[in-house]
Structure 1
Amino acid sequence: SKIGGEMVPHLLVEQELMKILDVPSTDGDEMPSLPVAVTAVPDEKKGERLIVVHLKLSKPIDQVLKELGECGLPNIWMPNADGFLEVDEIPILGTGKLDLRALQEMALDAFCNKKPAKPQSAPVENEASTEPVGTIDT
């Protein structure tokens, strides 16, 4: 995400949240359980704002934010207390990776009530004319 002109790495924020929530790490062979994931939604003031999509937390949000603030992350990387979204499951692709598109759609539905605009191609007018350009005298 780009918040206030600064790139914010979601993965680093997720890793700190997992430490705070005492989520056990897995071996390389195991698919990690993802109780928390970070995405972003549009924000009028800062461009984007962080949203933490999570399963039921083991600690209150205020406590999570307090501990997150103590890990030394820059303030701009900190989600707001109203930027937490509890869900029944975190969307995962068949490959076991986080489904970033579905995650963002969940956040947009909850916080913006709109989906990102899909780019539309402009209609092409008179791409190639089949009419002759000049006149032929015979």
Structure 2
Amino acid sequence: MKSLRLVFTGAEKCPDYTYQALKKINPQAILCEGYGITECSPLVSINRVENPQPGTIGRVMPSMEYAIIDPETNRRVNIGDQGILLVRGPNIFGGYYGSKNGDGFSAFEEKRWYNTGDFVKEDNEGVLTFCGRKKRFIKLGGEMISLPAIENALLVNFSANNGHDGPTLAVEATPTDERPEIVLFTTLPISREEANQKIKEAGLSPLHNIRILQKVEAIPVLGTGKTDYKQLQKMLVDA
């Protein structure tokens, strides 16, 4: 590990404890987080080696155009506000072969853009922060609530360095649009009150609080090792 100088990460948001673990193991190593999509061949944005900013996905590649829009008004959001990321460029695919469910593109400002389906926000320097997949947000009290933000707040406190293989907690919502409730699935011996205290300490509003805590023997995973949220949703439907 002493010879390691550069680490590039993507696919999922890099948790804070990974940054901390790398810094402890090898303080000289630089971790650059990026963001990509298969349909974009795949790189969309990346932190530059000379000035990486932990917790962000860096700047969009110079060959691409991008826009961050409010999905309800279809207008650009202000700097610092989260919105859906749209992209254009020579690296983007032409559409899904034979698909009857749309080609993934949206019309915006009289141009054709690939709709990533991901929420991001941008700072004054053009650096993006990944906020989560649109399908991993719910609307409560007039606000868009990020389930990954809740999950990350809990992972920092309950899952780092716990010696377990695979995920030990996951956050989902009950399958209703009117008044969804936030559900914590976990294999750990924690209470709903403890979880909500950590959510509060992370600076999240009471709308992010866990309403239902469900103990499970294991968190379902995909073949890639990532949490299988579709299976969790099915468990809620079948409950």
> TM-score, normalised to structure 1's length?
0.62
- Counterpart for residue 19 of structure 1: 156
What stretches of structure 1 of length at least 5 have no aligned partner? 26-31, 111-138
Contact 2:175–2:236 (Cα < 8 Å) also in 1: no
Q: CA RMSD in A?
A: 2.3
The percent of aligned pairs where both chains have the same amino acid is 28
**Which residue of structure 2 lines up, in the alignment, with residue 95 of structure 1?**
224
Q: CA deviation at 1:19?
A: 1.4
What's 1:67 paired with? 198
Matching of residue 51 in structure 1 with residue 210 in structure 2 = no
1:39 to 150, 166, 172: 172
User: Are 1:86 and 2:218 an aligned pair?
Assistant: no
| Structure 1 outlier segments of 4+, above 3 Å | none
- Which ranges in structure 2 are unaligned for 5 or more consecutive residues? 1-137
Residues paired across the two proteins, number? 100
8 Å CA contact 1:85, 1:107 repeated in 2: no
User: Which amino acid counterpart does residue 73 of structure 1 have in structure 2?
Assistant: L
**Helix, strand or coil for the counterpart of 2:204?**
coil
Partner Cα separation in structure 1 for residue 161 and residue 148 of structure 2: 16
AA paired with 1:75?
Answer: P
CA drift at 1:36: 0.5
Greater helix share, structure number = 1
Q: Residue 8 of structure 1: SS of its match in structure 2?
A: strand
Which whole-Å CA distance do the structure 2 matches of 1:42 and 1:74 have between them? Answer: 22
1:75 and 1:51 map into 2 onto residues whose CA distance is 14
Distance 1:56 1:74 in 2: 24
- d(CA) in 2 for partners of 1:61, 1:51: 10
Cα pair 2:166 2:225 within 8 Å, conserved: no
> Partner of 2:172: helix, strand, or coil?
strand
More strand by share: 2
Q: Tell me which amino acid in the other structure corresponds to 2:172.
A: T
- How far off its partner does 1:34 sit? 1.0
2-side partners of 1:22 and 1:87: how far apart?
A: 15
* SS of equivalent residue, structure 1 residue 65: helix
In the alignment, which residue of structure 2 is the partner of 1:117? none
CA gap 1:65/1:74 in 2 versus in 1, 3 angstroms: same
Is the counterpart of residue 5 in structure 1 residue 142 in structure 2? yes
Q: Which residue of 1 aligns with 2:115?
A: none
d(CA) in 2 for partners of 1:7 and 1:33? Answer: 28
Q: State the TM-score, normalized to the length of structure 2.
A: 0.38
Q: Is the Cα–Cα contact under 8 Å of residues 38 and 51 in structure 1 kept in the other structure?
A: yes
> Which one has the largest radius of gyration?
1
